[in-house]
Amino acid sequence: MTRASLKKGLPKPRPVSLLLADDHPLFRKGLRDAIEGIGRYEILGEAKDGEAALTLIEQLKPRIALLDIDMPKMTGLQVAREVIRRRIETDLIILTMHEDREIFEMAIQIGVMGYILKDSAVEDILQCIETILAGKTYVSPTLTHHLMVRQGKSAQGLEAKLGLSNLTATERKVLSLVAQSRSTKQIAEELFISPKTVAAHRSNICVKLGLRGTNALLKFALERKALL
């Protein structure tokens, strides 16, 4: 039997199941057409408000749900918080028009895996989906840029204020890899050092930056990704 015939007999991989929730039907249609055009994804359902989105997520259990942050009845953040509270195994992407740092920090704290500006290109949303499928978080580069600009400070001045200038070159590299959602083991392999050394670097970074809490380092790195 040839390799071609063996390949032909293999079952096709199941498409990645998605759910779209947004109160603007034209936006949903445009996003659905773009996503389904790839052929790798399957839209299990759509919702025009937060309550309907939560019900569909619980019933259909899609692999990933894309949630508009501003929806009637329940916001995207409220839906996300409830999905995680109920331990539904659906990863969540927040779609937003806001460039507000507090809202972004709230979303990360809740546990969403992706945070995207709605005016970003469809390619950005697709990249977010693929990044999440790889087990990593994704934040729109456009969002990071806007947050930096709104602060009205130069990168150098901001680095000094944040304490980034106090980090060694290796610590800076470790922090950059943390921002890419790399695990301690992955960072160790990339830098050719032991996981124990990586853990020590992470600890030193937290001390120098004044970070406390389980996810404080990851949260800091994601928010300042453009600086790293």
pLDDT tens per residue, range 189-222: 999 999 999 999 999 999 998 888 878 899 888 8
Read off the pLDDT of residues 175-192 as tens digits, 9 standing for 90 and up: 999 998 899 999 999 999
CA 95 to chain centre: 11
Q: Which tens digit of pLDDT belongs to each residue from 65-78?
A: 999 999 999 999 99
**Positions of E strands within the chain:** 16-21, 41-47, 64-68, 91-96, 114-117, 138-139
The pLDDT score that the predictor gives to residue 107 is: 86
pLDDT digits (tens, 9 = 90+) for 73-111: 999 999 999 999 999 999 999 998 877 777 887 888 888
Q: Looking at the predicted structure, is the pLDDT value of residue 139 above 80?
A: yes
Q: How many Cβ atoms sit within 10 Å of the Cβ of residue 169? A: 7
The CATH code for residues 13-148 is 3.40.50.2300
What residue spans define the domains of the chain?
Answer: 13-148, 153-227
- Residue positions counted in the chain: 228
Share of the chain above pLDDT 70, in %: 84
Of 19-23, 48-52, 139-143, the one with minimum mean pLDDT is 139-143
Calculate mean pLDDT across residues 113-123.
83
What pLDDT is recorded for position 11? 63
Looking at residue 97, its pLDDT comes to 85
Res 36: pLDDT: 86
CATH of 153-227 among 1.10.357.10, 1.10.10.10, 3.30.200.20, 1.10.760.10: 1.10.10.10
CA-based angle 42:43:49, to the nearest 5?
165
Give residue 141's pLDDT. 77
- Tokens matching residue 194: 């032991």
Q: Is the pLDDT of residue 172 over 60?
A: yes
Collapsing DSSP states into helix, strand and coil, what is residue 104?
helix
Higher-scoring residue by pLDDT: 153, 108? 108
The helix/strand/coil state of 91 is strand
Return all residues near 85 (Cβ < 8 A) that are at least 6 apart. Answer: none
Q: Rounded to whole angstroms, how far apart are CA atoms 7 and 10?
A: 5
User: CA-CA distance, 96 to 116, in Å (whole number)?
Assistant: 6
State the average pLDDT over residues 137-154.
64
